[in-house]
Amino acid sequence: MSENMKRILVSIIGVPVILGSIYLGGIYFFIVIAVISLLSQLEFYNLAQHKNLQINKKLGLLAGLAVLYLYYASKEEFFLPTLLLIFMLFMIIEIFSGRESPLLNSSIILSGIIYPTALIGTLYPLRQTDSLIGVDGLNLIIALLAGVWLCDTAAYYIGKSVGKHKLFERVSPNKTWEGSAAGFAASLTVIFALKYNGFLGSSFTTVDAIMLSLFSGVGGQLGDLFESLIKRDAGMKDSGFLLPGHGGFLDRFDALVFAAPMTYIYFIYY
């Protein structure tokens, strides 16, 4: 089977599963979010291992699951004691394991819990909150994903056809300013279309729409750049092999690492 066929096949299965779980919410959406976050976290640890570190990946993933559970149980206020306990546990394990580089090992295992798991995991409370300033979590998350996906698509095709000025050659050599601007314009267009359509409720202001466009259109691109940066740092082209034709999970969902928590913090805490 060609790479392109594989890519299409994965999409034919993956896209309906993701959309269905968003629609159903609750445990279904939680499982999808947990699978995406934890496999991305595993890929992050695999990348870090190319820097010659010995990471206790199973334990890191278990800790990632514990943090995701806080979102599931609406116990975000216990994040502080949970993270302190997790870090103390990692430190004790480094004392007894006798591995090289305890300082870097325990730092990387901690980072993997935040990036990507705690960051992507914010999608769950975003989806579940009934009324975020009058807009249902389901509608908000659809708008966010539409913004991210259209930004990605527009940036790719416009960049490829008319892009001339390199955006960030050092980090991601194929990206151009033209593509990036087109991506943001696409986010802006879809978010404002959804706003004027009434899809985001009547109290969703113009400022809210601009912010959501920034989160999906600029935040999404920053997520993409950071992921390119750490792959380059690790000397890898793809983050993993788990999604044939799409690279890895982290490659596929990197934009959400910024777009989702920005939206979560703005609409839930601000």
Rounded Cα distance between 36 and 57, Å, is 16
Interaction between residue 177 and a second copy (CB under 8 A): no
Residue of 65, 104, 133, 185 that binds a second copy (CB under 8 A): 104
164 binds a second copy (CB under 8 A): no
Structure tokens at 121: 């995991």
Q: Does 265 bind a second copy (CB under 8 A)?
A: yes
β-bridge partners, 243: 247
Residue 18 sits in the site that holds a second copy (CB under 8 A): no
Number of residues in the chain: 270
Q: Which of 90, 86, 88 is nearest to 105 (CA)?
A: 90
Please state the closest distance from residue 165 (CB atom) to a second copy, in A: 17
Q: How far is the CB of 106 from a second copy (least distance, A)?
A: 7
Q: How many CB atoms lie within 10 A of CB 152?
A: 21
- Interface with a second copy (CB under 8 A), residue from 6, 51, 189, 238: 51
- Contact status: 174 vs a second copy (CB under 8 A): no
Which residues touch 125 (CB under 8 Å, ≥6 apart)?
A: 71, 74, 76, 264, 268
Spatial contact of 253 and 40, defined as CB atoms under 8 Å apart: yes
Choose which of 59, 69, 76, 185 interacts with a second copy (CB under 8 A).
Answer: 76
The one-letter code for the residue type at 27 is I
Cβ at position 229, least distance to a second copy in Å? 5
Q: Which residues of 213-231 are buried (b: 16+ CB within 10 A; e: fewer)?
A: bbbbbbbbbbbbbebbebb
Is 157 a binding residue for a second copy by CB under 8 A? The answer is no
Determine the Cα–Cα distance for residues 225 and 69; give it in Å rounded to an integer: 28
Question: 62 or 234, CB closer to a second copy?
Answer: 234
Which parts of this chain interact with a second copy (CB under 8 A)? 47-48, 51, 70, 76-81, 83-85, 87-88, 91-92, 94-95, 98, 100-104, 106-108, 110-111, 114-115, 118-119, 122, 168, 170-171, 222, 225-226, 229-230, 233-234, 258, 261-262, 264-265, 268-269
